[in-house]
Amino acid sequence: MSRLRISPSLIVACLALFISLTGAGVAVVSALPRNSVGTAQLKANAVNSSKVKDGSLGAVDFASGQLPAGPTGPKGDAAATNAVLRTDNGGGAASRGSVSTVTVRCAEGERAIGGGFAVQAENQRTPVSVKANKPSGAPPDRWVVAIQNISDTAIEDGSIVAEAYVVCVSP
At 132-166, the pLDDT tens digits run 556 666 668 888 877 777 766 555 555 677 788 88
Q: Which neighbouring-strand residues pair with 13?
A: none
Query: For 17-110, where are the E strands, in sequence order?
Result: 82-88, 93-95, 99-105
- The pTM of the whole model exceeds 0.75: no
- Measured in whole angstroms, the distance separating CA 35 from the mean position of its chain's CA atoms is 30
Cβ-Cβ contacts under 8 Å for 122 (sequence gap 6 or more): 155, 156, 157
At 47-64, the pLDDT tens digits run 888 888 888 888 888 888
Based on its alpha-carbon atoms, the radius of gyration of the chain, rounded to whole angstroms, reads 39
Sequence spans of domains, the chain = 82-170
